[in-house]
């Protein structure tokens, strides 16, 4: 086996191990914006009790049929320590705490609003039981100080709770109309959780999907096996010669 072959095999094995254990090269992994999609898992809040009708939600709150949990770092409200409210359009007018922005229409009958006024903004986090590569939702936000647009910051994390590259941001300036924002990872990368921060954030019709077919870790194990076999046959050929 030549030195070049040994180096090539070693590089392949190392790269495969990095993929398998979720380690990334020095350059930042990013997520790309994508259009609306129907995910493998979704949440529209339709099964939860209306806030104005006695809804009091656990922190963390199980969502997406148990596939994920949603938590919020603001725990100051004793009556509703989660500081979130699920509204129903016909019952609660469904302004989601957007105040002067008027009525915000949910996707379906209900939607989720976070009571998190500007400038104090807490972090809301969604943790997935299964690694995902796509996430999106319909969003809104409000600045109760004035009518200026609000920036929402979203951060994706790997299984070690390490951010995947840079944060992604979007600015909301619509009059209570929910707008779609969604993302997918680059390459074989996945995320195990995400967080978002913004003033009076509204989020509805959450969608998430995992890779179809073999998991990236399984693919990495396959690559390691191929690398091992290649090295074995090269060694046998050298001995035969």
Position 147 pLDDT exceeds 80: no
DSSP category for residue 41 = E
How do strand 41-43 and strand 168-172 relate by DSSP bridges? Answer: unpaired
57 and 92 in contact (C-beta within 8 Å)? no
pLDDT band, very low/low/confident/very high, at 43 (cuts 50, 70, 90): very high
On average, the pLDDT of the chain sits at 74
Mean pLDDT over 151-175 rounds to 91
131 and 189 in contact (C-beta within 8 Å)? no
pLDDT at residue 111, rounded to an integer: 80
DSSP category for residue 96 = T
pLDDT band, very low/low/confident/very high, at 196 (cuts 50, 70, 90): very high
Higher pLDDT, 52 or 227: 52
Mean pLDDT over 135-145 rounds to 85
Report the alpha-carbon distance of residue 229 to residue 207 in Å, rounded.
40
Report the alpha-carbon distance of residue 126 to residue 70 in Å, rounded.
5
Position 144 pLDDT exceeds 50: yes
pLDDT at residue 169, rounded to an integer: 94
Tell me the percentage of the chain whose pLDDT exceeds 70.
57
Mean pLDDT over 12-33 rounds to 56
pLDDT at residue 165, rounded to an integer: 87
pLDDT one-digit tens code per residue, 148-159: 788 999 999 999
pLDDT band, very low/low/confident/very high, at 18 (cuts 50, 70, 90): very low
Higher pLDDT, 44 or 91: 44
């Amino acid at each position: 086996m030549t030195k070049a072959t040994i180096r090539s095999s070693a590089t392949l094995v190392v790269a495969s191990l990095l993929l398998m254990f979720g380690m990334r090269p020095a350059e930042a992994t990013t997520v790309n914006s994508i259009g609306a999609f129907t995910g493998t898992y979704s949440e529209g809040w339709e099964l939860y009790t209306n806030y104005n009708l006695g809804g009091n939600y656990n922190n963390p709150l199980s969502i997406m049929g148990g596939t994920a949990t949603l938590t919020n770092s603001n725990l100051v409200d004793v009556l509703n320590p989660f500081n979130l409210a699920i509204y129903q359009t016909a019952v609660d007018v469904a302004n989601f705490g957007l105040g002067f922005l008027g009525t915000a229409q949910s996707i379906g009958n209900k939607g989720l609003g976070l009571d998190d006024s500007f400038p104090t903004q807490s972090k809301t986090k969604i943790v997935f039981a299964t690694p995902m590569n796509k996430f999106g939702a319909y969003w809104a936000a409000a600045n109760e100080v004035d009518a200026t647009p609000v920036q929402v910051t979203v951060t994706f994390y790997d299984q070690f709770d390490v951010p995947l590259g840079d944060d992604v941001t979007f600015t909301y300036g619509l009059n209570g109309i929910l707008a779609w924002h969604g993302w997918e990872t680059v390459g074989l990368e996945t995320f195990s959780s995400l967080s978002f921060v913004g003033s009076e954030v509204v989020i509805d019709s959450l969608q998430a999907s995992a890779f179809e077919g073999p998991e990236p870790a399984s693919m990495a194990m396959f690559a390691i096996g191929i690398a091992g076999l290649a090295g074995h046959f090269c060694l046998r050929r050298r001995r035969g010669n």
